[in-house]
Amino acid sequence: MLKEIIEKVELFFEEGKKEIEGIKDSELLEKWRIKFLGRKSYLNQIFSKISSLTKEEKVICGKKLNEIKQNLIELYERAKFQIEKKEIKYNLFLPGVKVKTGNLHPITKIIDEIVQIFYRMGFAIAEGPEIETDYYNFTALNTPEEHPARDIWDTFYIEKEKNILLRTHTSPVQIRIMEKYTPPLKIIAPGKCFRRDAFDTSHSPMFHQIEGLMVDKDIKFTHLKGVLSYFIYEFFKKEVKIVFAPSYFPFTEPSAEVSISCVICEEKGCSTCGNTGFLEILGCGMVHPNVFKNVGYDPKIYTGFAFGMGVERLAMLKYQIDDIRYFYYNDLRFLEQF
Ligand code: DAH
C-alpha cells in the first residue's frame, strides 16, 4: 500500500514537471496550478487517503507527500517568475519601480527649519571652522586664560601647546564674522560642537548648536526678546510661556537663560522637565563691551545681542525623543520616521 502510494505520487510529480516545461503564459500556468496544487489535486486526494496506513507508514508517507508538494510549489514559483518577467516587458500600464531615495537626517532638518525662521527675519547664514584656536573659542569671547569660566566647557584639545582645540560652542563664529564685517549685522551660525562629555541619554561628545548675533546702533534687550519669542512660537507652533532668567556667560552682560513651559506636560510636571514644568532651551544676552573691543568695534557706538541654542535638545522636545543617542545610531527604523 505505502509503496504503491509513493510510486504514484512520484509519477504525479514527473507529470507535473513535464507539463510545466511547455507553459509560456500565466493563464495556462494557473490551470497547471489548479491541477497539481489545487484543492482537488491528486496530491490532496492522497493526503486524505493515508488514514488506512499504519502509524509508521503514515510518518513516512506524510514526509514524502510534503516533499513532493514542496517541489511542485518550487516548480510553480520558478515558472511564474519567468513568465511574469516576460509579460511585464510588454505591459506599459504597470506602475513604475519606486527608487529608494532616503531622506535628510532629523538634525539636518531641524537646523534647516531653525535657520529658515531666522532667515525670514533677515538673518544671514554664517559658518566657522570646527577646529578652532583657543583665541576664538575663549579669549576673544572675554574668557582669557585662567578665567574660571573656562571650566564650564570641557574641551577637547588637539594640541594644547599650540592652543588648537575642537570648538566647544558656535560662539567663535561671532568673532570671525565681526572681524570681517562692520555693523549693522545679523547672522545665524549653525554647526557641530565638541565637549568631553559622557555619551548618555542627554549628552554626546559631538552635538550641534545654532548661534545668533545682531549688532547695530541702539540694539536693546527688547530686540532680543522679540526675536527669540517669535522664533520659539514659529518653531513649536503653539503658544508657550517664555521666561528670561538671569544667568552668566563671559561674553554677554547681562546674560539670560531662556526657558519655556514644558511642551510635553504643559506645566503639569514630567520627567522631561524634571517636574518643574519648564525647560531651559538656550543662553543669550547683550554682547559684552570687551568682546566688541576685541574685534575693533566701539562699544560706545554699537550694541548687540547674541544667543546660542542646542539643536539636539530642541529636536528632542519637538519630536518627543527621550534619548539623544538615537540621532547617532544610524538605525533606519528611527531615521525613516522624519
Ligand atoms: N555658547 C554658550 C554655550 O555653549 C551659549 C550661549 C550663551 C551663546 C549666550 C551665546 C550667548 O551667544 O550670548 O553654552
- Dist. CA 229 → ligand 1 center (Å): 17
125/122 Cα distance (integer angstroms): 10
Name the closest-CA residue to atom 5, ligand 1.
308
HSE (CB half, 13 Å, CA atoms) of 263?
Answer: 22
Q: How many A from CA of 308 to the centre of ligand 1?
A: 4
User: Is 284 touching ligand 1 by the criterion CB < 6 Å?
Assistant: yes
For ligand 1, whether the C-beta of 171 sits within 6 Å is yes
Domain 106-335, CATH? 3.30.930.10
Q: What is the pLDDT of residues 51-102, one digit of tens each?
A: 788 888 888 888 888 999 999 999 999 999 988 888 777 677 778 888 888 8
Q: Which grid cell sits at 192?
A: 557641530
Predicted pLDDT of residue 309: 97
Q: Which residues does the chain have with pLDDT short of 50?
A: none
Q: Which amino acid is at 214?
A: M
Out of 153, 154, 169, mutate this one to test ligand 1's pocket (max ligand atoms within 8 Å of CB): namely 169
Summarize pLDDT for 174-200 with one digit per residue, the tens.
Answer: 999 999 999 999 999 999 999 999 999
Q: How far is the CA of 289 from the centre of ligand 1 (A)?
A: 16
Å from CA of 217 to ligand 1 middle: 22
> Does 250 sit in the ligand 1 pocket, CB within 6 Å?
no
The whole-number pLDDT of residue 95 equals 82
Q: Give the pLDDT score at 49.
A: 77
pLDDT value at residue 51: 78
Collapsed DSSP state (helix, strand, coil) of residue 56:
helix
Can you read off the three cell numbers belonging to residue 82?
519567468
What is the predicted pLDDT for the residue at 109?
Answer: 96
- The ranges assigned to domains in the chain are 2-90, 106-335
For the CA of 209, the closest atom of ligand 1 is 4
Test site for ligand 1: of 215, 249, 312, most ligand atoms within 8 A of the Cβ: 249
**Could you please report the per-residue DSSP string of 13-64?**
HHHHHHHHHT--SHHHHHHHHHHHHSTTSHHHHHHTTGGGS-HHHHHHHHHH
User: Tens digit of pLDDT for each residue in 213-222?
Assistant: 999 999 999 9
| CA atoms 128, 130, 135, 140: torsion sign | positive
**Amino acid identity, position 67:** E
Residue 309 C-alpha to ligand 1 middle, in angstroms? 7
**How is the chain split among helix, strand and coil, in percent rounded to 5?**
45, 20, 35
**Predicted pLDDT at 282:** 97
Beta-strand relationship, 252-261 and 278-287: antiparallel
